[in-house]
Amino acid sequence: MTAAKRKSDLAVRAGTGVLLIAVAAVALWLGGIAFWVLCTVGALFMMAEWADLAATGARADARNKRVAQFALSVPLATMAPASLIIEVHYFFTLGLLAGAAFFTVIVTRQPRLASGIVYCGLPVLSLVFLRRADHGLLFAFWTLALVWACDIGAYFSGRSIGGPKLAPAISPNKTWAGLAGGVVAAGLFAMLLHVQFGLPWRMTLATPVLAVVAQGGDLYESWLKRRAGVKDSGNILPGHGGVLDRLDGLVPIAPLAALLLILPRFYA
């Protein structure tokens, strides 16, 4: 790849990244229906891409893909602000996610496809829970931004430092330097949120660990793509590929962030 081509690709990638962050930040600030709609649309796109990655052939059967999306839409609908009545709602929705996965297995006979219901739905439930909590704007922003900071830190440190590969058999471009840069960037950002906005210590100190988990989520999706024989999970986002390519690090982080939020309740 020529230097001009790399510069052009970086410009497209950066432009798309800035736009995605801006859209997410506005929806996060508005909260309510706006944040739920963004999360729901993202989850349905993720489900479609997961179906293709999980398929035994080149692409998923269109009928099975729609079955999985429709099944996922049921628990997603219960996450809408109008449906929130009491706190047990979250546990009810968690059960619906399991039920939707079970339904998909029965109808499609594809357990791998059905597992995508939980993979795509649980992060949305976690983010909705975080946003609706007391000080939810701070907690949800921390969850999203630590992944952004980790991705940015890993990208630039990996390109500038290089060095030994992190997992060459899965993702040849990722390096240990990139992992370290992502962890440092996320940790510094969390410390800034702690100092300026009072992010709790347990979340601040957990951020470097969560950054490593985010990199693990990225590697897992890379493994899925390698197994499926594709470069990207989709092509809807210029310079980034698919929605899964953009949110793979967030998938394991959001549930862990929700657990960190509710942890003190078990010791109250």
pLDDT at 200 over 90: yes
What is residue 86's predicted lDDT score, i.e. its pLDDT?
44
SS3 letters across 202-251: HHHHHHHHHHHHHHHHHHHHHHHHHHHCCCCCCCCECCCECHHHHHCCHH
User: Model confidence over 172-185: pLDDT tens digits?
Assistant: 888 899 999 999 99
Average pLDDT, the chain: 88
pLDDT at 268 over 60: no
- Provide φ and ψ at 165, rounded to 5°: -80, 145
* Prediction pTM value: 0.90
pLDDT at 1 over 60: no
- Residue extents of the structural domains in the chain: 1-29+135-268, 31-132
User: Model confidence over 43-90: pLDDT tens digits?
Assistant: 999 999 999 888 755 456 788 999 999 999 999 998 988 655 444 478
